[in-house]
Chain A
């Protein structure tokens, strides 16, 4: 699986958009970009995933660059409850392929 690089921490003001970057320059054509988050003392929670196109769901938007070497997770209106560790993971679709977590980005939403 391709390696990802994320900033260790970010701050965001409550009500503003949070933009979390991720670099995955060695991603291959059959690998998806996944985002999970982990609120303190809870299990990781799936947020969104994408292959080539930008994706949006009720939680967030995922913007993938045209060359697929980087992506940005956008939380449009961050709340205090969005404070968590956010993991960007590149995952191939081989049967049974596991998730390989890095250290992630600690997002602190401040009032």
Chain B
């Protein structure tokens, strides 16, 4: 069964450093999502792509976070500089595109610890 791939699975970084996460969606899924999940809470959408275009980045802290999906396939989420409050699980998901009730498939996530 096809899966969403993410790397790294774990990342420890010092505050003020830069960090990047990578996601490879399920083949054929044009919609890609990045979520952040703080411990004890549900995931929160950071950014949504339709192919290479950003559809929704209303919750993305744009002063330090950036996301790209240059060829409309895999995607990178970057934080620069990292802050202590960025410690969380970063989840990537993908889905088919359209008005149908398509489910989102999630990757295993990247757990970020900022020290």
Mark A residues whose CB is within 8 Å of B.
Answer: 32, 34, 41-46, 49, 51, 85, 87, 91, 93-96, 98-104
Query: Are B33 and A49 in contact, CB atoms less than 8 angstroms apart?
Result: no
Which A-chain residue is minimally distant from B56 (CB atoms)?
A: A98
Query: Are A101 and B43 in contact, CB atoms less than 8 angstroms apart?
Result: yes
How far apart sit A32 and B45, CA to CA, in the bound complex (Å)?
19
Main secondary structure of the interface of A (DSSP, over half): loop
Query: Are A98 and B99 in contact, CB atoms less than 8 angstroms apart?
Result: no
A-B contact count (CB 8 A): 55
How far apart sit A44 and B105, CA to CA, in the bound complex (Å)?
8
Query: Are A43 and B109 in contact, CB atoms less than 8 angstroms apart?
Result: yes
- Digitize B69-96: 1 where CB-to-A-CB distance is under 8 Å, 0 elsewhere: 0000000000000000000000101000
Interface residues of B in 36-59 (CB under 8 A from A): 40-45, 48, 50, 55-56
